[in-house]
Amino acid sequence: MSAPTTIALIIGSLRKESINRKFAEYIVSQMPDSIKVEEVNIADLPLYNQDYDDTTINSYERVRQQLKAADAVLIVTPEHNRTMPAALKNVIDIASRPYKESVWAHKKVAVVTASPSNYGGINSGLDVRKSMEMLLAQIMTSPEMFLSQATESLNEDGSVSERTQKYLERFINALVAFVGSKSA
């Protein structure tokens, strides 16, 4: 039997009650059995410093290997002060180095942002794309997914509302096709 296709999941929020985590969990729950999703823990990563390129930092090695081994990466993230959260930028930087050992080149990457605001965290999503373009990742371009007024898309128990489940359907189908295809 061939190995399952794997998605490494990065959640840009570190907080326990993250709304982005809730949307990520829903998306993951809709993946077919042929796709395995593994979360990349970014909470324990020391702030990237180029001086560390010559040393071994276990948490850096862990995320680099996890991302390298994955067929695709799904990033679900909030926006902090009109850009991506520092913790997300940190893992992007860590996995882009040492020089010429970046894991991002040709990596399939899909991005979702969610925010209680009307703008859906779009600035964060576009900034993630900007970094990914520079790093030569293969970005899933359609459909874009910036979930606005996202707290209203969650039921009291934290589950995703039926309306938003429907809205996410096209993205989820596109993600499965994107991850499953050899090129997109």
Which residues are near ligand FNR by CB under 6 A?
Answer: 13, 15, 18-20, 78-82, 115-117, 119, 121
Is residue 66 within 8 A of residue 74, CB to CB? The reply is no
State the Cα–Cα distance between residues 23 and 4, nearest whole angstrom: 23
CB of 156 to ligand FNR, least distance (A): 16
In the complex, what is the shortest distance from the CB of residue 174 to ligand FNR, in angstroms, rounded to a whole number? 22
Cβ proximity to ligand FNR, 88 vs 140, nearer residue: 88
Beta carbon of residue 128, minimum distance to ligand FNR (angstroms, whole number): 14
**Segments in 14-145 forming alpha helices (H):** 19-29, 58-69, 86-95, 122-134
Cβ proximity to ligand FNR: between 80 and 108 the closer is 80
Query: What are the CA-CA distances from residue 62 to residues 5, 44, 95, 104 (Å)?
Result: 19, 11, 10, 15
Taking the C-alpha atoms of residue 13 and residue 15, their distance in angstroms, rounded to an integer, is 6
Residue closer to ligand FNR, measured from CB, 39 or 71: 39
The CA distances from residue 165 to 31, 47, 103, 139, in Å, are: 13, 35, 32, 23
Kindly state the smallest distance separating residue 147's Cβ from ligand FNR, in Å: 10
Nearest CB to ligand FNR, comparing residues 104 and 146: 146
Q: Which is nearer to ligand FNR, 81 or 183 (CB)?
A: 81
Q: How far is the CB of 182 from ligand FNR (least distance, A)?
A: 33
